[in-house]
Structure 1
């Protein structure tokens, strides 16, 4: 490759960077950004086996790596488009202005094809064209690109990246944030009933190192897209249709105007590893789904299933009977439901894997025949009840004795005990369990009425013992009816991880 072509290639590569930065400048870290649009396309084209591998092996790194890979691919794609367009302009003996305009037009067109977002595409194309244009006639002509012009081109791309990093991040990033990490939601809410329930959970949490109390401080998030959808609370609506007597549409105000409940509900991801950390609990506020189903009128010859759709393109299908006990949540830990957890409204289906607890809910269709959901089309089978598990996340040997602990969860079957073995499973001792969290309660109830037992919430466990040498700790949960957790170990794919958690401890 001769020098003029090499410098020209650098200019067109910088043009690709300009497209990415220009698009981000307008869209921010949102679905309209060209990188995320390409990431979504690449994910859709990825073979199911590779997706399952990424979820199990890479965990939380899978999506960031996808975005990084999509970013590099996007730069090369738009840089390549600029390079080909410049060569074509030279071959056709076009004027410099015509070639620069053609570069921007081609880049904007392809960006629009990926994002279906006119403004980010136009700005991206304009910046891409400008990067080529400031490189002088050497970028599009038969002469060498001067070093000064090359630096001007690279500087233009770099300046756009810097500007996008300031303005674009403010506009689009951080929109999928969790409820405030740290802090104390019980002290931050003005609702006395919510404050009582959260304080009760805090009081019942066991003192364990390095793990969350009974209300998670940072709730896990798993989504099909790197960026959360932008859903307007004012215009949002939920449509309930299909095999019902009358189709109904509900606004957020409609749901918030109904008698509400507060419920402790735990969620576990079907892709969670056996001792992974995609298991969390919160206090949710919303309305029972059964009220909505009664209003639309489900026929006596009951349909089999519901088909649920979300604003981010996600969809899921599961038995109607499971939906009858579901909850439409619009609040979390005394605050409005955060964007990253499905605002304005999400579904919570007791005792089932997280994948059917659909976020950014937009439609519930009652159907007579079973359909495949989003992850079922990729080979997963996570629409059923969760597997029972006792996690071992806390090990503390700082005080002379050893203290181990974690969380245990069995869905609506409940946990009555956690048993611990400190000799690799030869003998077992019952651990200390946290008190059960309070039951669901009407939002207008008196705080003094808080009581009962949550139907679908985890418990903490703790065990302290003496040990001098290295040993294997094994834990297992016992369900409310006395059923001991199965020791048969399975991987997350396709139906969720199962088995006894074990960990080597060296005091």
Structure 2
């Protein structure tokens, strides 16, 4: 392409740049308006785009995000979805903005100018509203998107009318762009101020609900009393339970409309609603969950007191005829594993004495003892029994985290005490095998000493705390390893999370103060 052609192309495009900038600002405002109206809910216009981003992301990128970025990967994916959604709505608003391209002239009839401006505002609002409704089927979300886009177009009209006839060439365009961008940012900031992150706050389990059942009160009190008094170490019932799923916007399932279906290779299919489950015998269980993507000394491992009904009662009533089961959730997530793993499972609808939070799968989630967190499907809607083995959501992406969890001892806290003493502490977990010992080496693995363990909580699938205090003269390496309830030692070889969970002994270099 010759220099003249490039210059000609630039000359043709340049007059459109202000209109494109205003349209993109209108797109951002449409997204911000939707958020202001509905918050971070499924009706938010970025939700479908976000799901598309997650679905279409290359396997290598997803693996990198899980293993290296953790929750930051989710945030980056959501930011990508926000940007793409803003572009989509910017394109929708562009026809309306294009109507405002011609600056008003002295010989233009005032009525004609008003007609063009009104048409620009209407088109700039209606088209984004139509796109929003097509994406979400939500009238409030569509109204918010329309209001946001219309606000930016109105600002652009106002700036254009305020421009004086003797204003320098191009100044009107600059003012229009600055006004549009400013109003879009302002509306988005307002949405964040009003809605915040719009994530559900979860009450601390250390504060027992006043209406807690006596059994729950007793168990939570026991967990609190048995927790070590180690500075910085989370108690036996986690105060900040990790949250990992395929969503950046969690489903908002109507509790009263929710149903659970048991289908497939069964003698009799069945459907239950929340009232059916609440009428059954309620069980309270301490259960630990660990994400298969958790790093060796990562923080994606936590414990809660869950309350619900046993899976066995529902499976026995259905009469399963297959050896495999697929659990499906309202968010489109599913997982397949041997049905024998599900028999001792729990369908939980309460957590730490309170209704199950939305972020943890309300109204009902599955808990499968001793297995990686990925098969504990949240927002559970279906249990399908199958005669043949198939693949789950993450198996299609190269993960194999449906098996029992690996034994692990986490080194989560190093405290320097008086007199040069050092305290190291953490949690250990081995699924339903339990923890019989945690061993600590302060000389790089030459010698080992058993650490003190917290008294075990009731249950077959619960972690334990450990702590060890010693004196050290200089810089040294601390290594920890666990033995499960069968006496088997934690796998020493270090390996990353993919495909079936991280292994290895945790170590940390400690400098005395």
Provide the rounded CA distance (Å) in 2 between the counterparts of 1:29 and 1:351.
Answer: 32
- Alignment CA distance shift 1:206-1:138 (3 Å): closer
Report the equivalent of 2:260: 238
Instruction: Figure out how many residues of one structure are paired with residues of the other and give that number.
Output: 481
Report the equivalent of 1:349: 368
Judge conservation of contact 2:455–2:464 (CA < 8 Å) in 1: yes
Judge conservation of contact 1:219–1:281 (CA < 8 Å) in 2: yes
Give the one of 40, 62, 65 matched to 2:51. Answer: 40
Single out whichever of 78-87 and 462-471 deviates more from structure 2. Answer: 78-87
- Gapped runs of 5+ residues in structure 1? 439-453
Give the one of 38, 49, 70 matched to 2:60. Answer: 49
Report the equivalent of 2:88: 77
TM-score if structure 2 supplies the norm length? 0.87
Report the equivalent of 1:490: 495
Report the equivalent of 2:438: 418
Give the one of 291, 301, 308 matched to 1:286. Answer: 308
Give the one of 269, 287, 295 matched to 1:273. Answer: 295
1:312 CA displacement? 1.4
Judge conservation of contact 1:96–1:137 (CA < 8 Å) in 2: no
Q: Name the Cα RMSD after superposition.
A: 2.6
- Alignment CA distance shift 1:467-1:297 (3 Å): same
Residues 1:384 and 2:403 aligned together: yes
Judge conservation of contact 1:11–1:139 (CA < 8 Å) in 2: no
Residues 1:436 and 2:436 aligned together: no
Residues 1:173 and 2:192 aligned together: no
Judge conservation of contact 1:135–1:152 (CA < 8 Å) in 2: yes
Residue pairs, 1:355-366, within 5 angstroms: 355-366=374-385
Report the equivalent of 1:446: none
Provide the rounded CA distance (Å) in 1 between the counterparts of 2:36 and 2:208.
Answer: 38
Q: What is the SS of the residue equivalent to 1:457?
A: coil
Residue pairs, 1:436-475, within 5 angstroms: 436-438=456-458, 454-475=459-480
Give the one of 399, 406, 409 matched to 2:429. Answer: 409
Q: What is the SS of the residue equivalent to 1:160?
A: helix
Provide the rounded CA distance (Å) in 1 between the counterparts of 2:45 and 2:190.
Answer: 17
Judge conservation of contact 1:8–1:139 (CA < 8 Å) in 2: no
Q: Deviations over 1:316-341 (max 9, x none)?
A: 11111011111111111111111111
1:136 CA displacement? 2.6
Report the equivalent of 2:486: 481
Provide the rounded CA distance (Å) in 1 between the counterparts of 2:179 and 2:413.
Answer: 55
1:6 CA displacement? 4.3
Report the equivalent of 1:339: 358
Provide the rounded CA distance (Å) in 2 between the counterparts of 1:252 and 1:499.
Answer: 42
Residues 1:227 and 2:249 aligned together: yes
Provide the rounded CA distance (Å) in 1 between the counterparts of 2:487 and 2:438.
Answer: 11
Residues 1:127 and 2:127 aligned together: no
1:372 CA displacement? 1.5
Residues 1:330 and 2:349 aligned together: yes
- Alignment CA distance shift 1:96-1:496 (3 Å): same
Give the one of 375, 382, 398 matched to 2:394. Answer: 375
1:105 CA displacement? 3.5
Q: What is the SS of the residue equivalent to 2:439?
A: strand
- Gapped runs of 5+ residues in structure 2? 1-9, 103-111, 162-168
